[in-house]
């Protein structure tokens, strides 16, 4: 018998009537492990009302008390992150060590958010004009909605909600229906830490729930991570309804390899960044742009490392787990045929993998493609799986032109021992996050995450100081306390004196 996965509204688990159900699978076995009732518009309205009613009291709670609750949440998370990792592996499929890494990166944002009293202090100008003081301070925006993807069911929500809560907002999280249990675990932990009812809610759902959040007048902001077509839709729809929006989209991340690079370092980086989490991450390296004459030598080193990878059930100490669903596995695998038909060389075919796991799992091994035409969909599309393409170029300039010519601008990296080339690259490349001999340049929590071009919609990146700017709005106050002897009428325009 499969488990029923509930919602979390107003401080408690909520089971909705059986209407539209969505199946949840264990990707390592292919078996259904649970089901979730998808929220209708009216269900979302109940969660929004709970968040809206909880907002004034949470906003008005002292800084010290809000900070105490978030500190307690951080300590509980750190002590019990192993439980959450097991939940993630059971529904997403990534190996347990990778799930723990995801949680740790999310925890870093929690720790950054705990410094919010310093970030939210405001500014004060004494005697800006004679007897007049001017000061400004940030205030929370209200109900903040977060729509998170399947690939990081813990980390991506933690990019947003710790900062939103610290700033005094209430939150509604709509996780992916493919792996919904991590969100519930986080909600229960926040409740255990002392978060008041209604301040953090979880609504399970699909597009119906998403549209309800985008259109509800009491939702002040939308934070989204997912594919570019959906990010664009989220941005346009939410903005049309007067909401503040940060919508992070898809990617096609390149690493530029110069001939002077340490090819052993490059090969390690390509395998780690290309196949970690089965390639299901928006900062995965999908294309290695190799400046000749080193492509053949690099392919030999990458292939040797791929042979040593153990693919299988993430609970068995393997290096890479399955893909999240059968449909996604089949879609990713189809790009191998597309590449071959377009003239690419299939160096390693992941469809031939022999996994350490149940034969019913959603398996696709690491795949390496060489000489991929830049006109092929295997090059232009975001595949979102363990497929690494090699594109050969003749010069640094050709590599930069190729990268800058793409539709996406999320992450990129350059591998070289030439400091001048690396410095030139970081200025010339049209991408939001850049690694220099670092393959996955996800910024630390006190910087901000976000791409350029079709990889991001909205003006504000995730977490860091930009995260606090997104979840607050500023008030400016001009104050004068009159001396009893002051008087008189002046109809002129106010002037400084």
Q: Distance between CA 273 and CA 415 in Å, rounded? A: 13
Helix (H, G, I), strand (E, B) or coil at 474: strand
**Helix (H), strand (E) counts: the chain:** 15, 23
CA 193 to mean position of chain CA atoms: 24
Place of tokens 């059930």: 313
Active site residue 318: no
Catalytic residue among 154, 214, 266, 282: 282
Distances (CA, A) of 463 to 76, 298, 409, 456, 471: 21, 36, 18, 14, 10
CB-based contact 27:325 (threshold 8 Å)? yes
Question: Going by C-beta distance under 8 Å and a sequence separation of 6 or more, which residues neighbour residue 25?
Answer: 31, 32, 33, 91, 178, 325, 326, 362
Distances (CA, A) of 445 to 38, 247, 437: 32, 18, 20
Cis geometry, peptide bond prior to residue 237 (ω within 30 degrees of 0): no
Place of tokens 């839709």: 233
Q: Distance between CA 197 and CA 139 in Å, rounded? A: 21
What is the CB neighbour count within 10 angstroms for residue 98? 22
Dihedral class, residue 176 (left if φ above 0, else alpha if ψ from -120 to 50, else beta): beta
Distances (CA, A) of 457 to 155, 238, 284: 20, 11, 20
Encoded tokens for 211: 């549209």
Place of tokens 């991590």: 182
> What is the CB-side half-sphere exposure of residue 80 using CA atoms within 13 A?
17
Q: Distance between CA 276 and CA 438 in Å, rounded? A: 14
Question: Catalytic amino acids?
Answer: 282
């Amino acid at each position: 018998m499969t488990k029923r996965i509930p919602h979390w509204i107003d401080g408690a688990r909520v089971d909705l009537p059986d209407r539209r159900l969505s199946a949840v699978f264990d990707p390592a076995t292919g078996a259904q492990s649970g089901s979730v009732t998808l929220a209708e518009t009216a269900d979302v309205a109940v969660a929004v009302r709970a968040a809206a009613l909880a907002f004034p009291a949470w906003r008005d709670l002292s800084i010290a008390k809000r900070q105490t609750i978030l500190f307690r949440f951080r300590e509980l998370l750190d002590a019990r992150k192993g439980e959450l990792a097991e939940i993630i592996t059971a529904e997403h499929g990534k190996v347990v060590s990778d799930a723990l890494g995801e949680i740790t990166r999310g925890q870093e944002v929690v720790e950054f958010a705990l410094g919010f009293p310093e970030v939210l202090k405001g500014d004060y100008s004494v005697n800006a004009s004679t007897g007049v003081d001017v000061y400004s301070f940030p205030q929370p925006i209200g109900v903040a909605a977060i729509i998170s993807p399947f690939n990081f069911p813990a980390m991506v929500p933690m990019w947003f909600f710790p900062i939103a809560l610290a700033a005094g907002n209430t939150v509604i999280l709509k996780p992916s229906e493919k792996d919904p249990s991590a969100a519930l675990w986080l909600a229960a932990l926040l409740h255990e830490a002392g978060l008041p009812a209604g301040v953090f809610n979880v609504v399970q759902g699909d597009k119906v729930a998403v549209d309800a959040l985008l259109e509800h007048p009491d939702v002040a902001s939308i934070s989204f991570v997912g594919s570019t077509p959906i990010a664009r839709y989220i941005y346009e729809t939410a903005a049309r309804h007067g909401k503040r929006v940060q919508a992070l989209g898809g990617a096609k991340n390149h690493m530029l390899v110069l001939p002077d690079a340490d090819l052993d370092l490059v090969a390690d980086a390509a395998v780690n960044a290309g196949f970690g989490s089965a390639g299901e991450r928006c900062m995965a390296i999908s294309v290695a742009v190799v400046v000749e004459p080193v492509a053949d030598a690099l392919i030999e080193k990458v292939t040797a490392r791929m042979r040593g990878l153990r693919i299988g059930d993430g609970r068995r100490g393997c290096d890479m787990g399955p893909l999240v669903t059968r449909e996604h596995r089949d879609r990713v695998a189809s790009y191998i045929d597309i590449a071959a038909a377009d003239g690419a060389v299939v160096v390693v075919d992941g469809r031939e993998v022999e996994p350490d796991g149940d034969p019913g799992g959603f398996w696709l091994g690491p795949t390496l493609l060489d000489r991929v035409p830049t006109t092929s969909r295997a090059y232009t599309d975001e595949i979102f799986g363990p497929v690494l393409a090699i594109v050969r170029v003749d010069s640094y300039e050709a590599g930069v032109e190729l990268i800058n010519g793409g539709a996406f601008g999320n992450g990129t990296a350059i591998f070289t021992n030439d400091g001048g080339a690396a410095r030139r690259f970081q200025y010339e490349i049209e991408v939001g996050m850049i690694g220099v001999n670092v393959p996955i340049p996800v910024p630390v929590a006190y910087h901000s995450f976000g791409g350029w071009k079709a990889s991001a919609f909205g003006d504000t990146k995730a977490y860091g100081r930009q995260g606090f700017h997104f979840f607050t709005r500023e008030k400016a106050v001009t104050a004068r306390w009159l001396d009893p002897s002051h008087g008189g009428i002046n109809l002129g325009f106010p002037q400084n004196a």
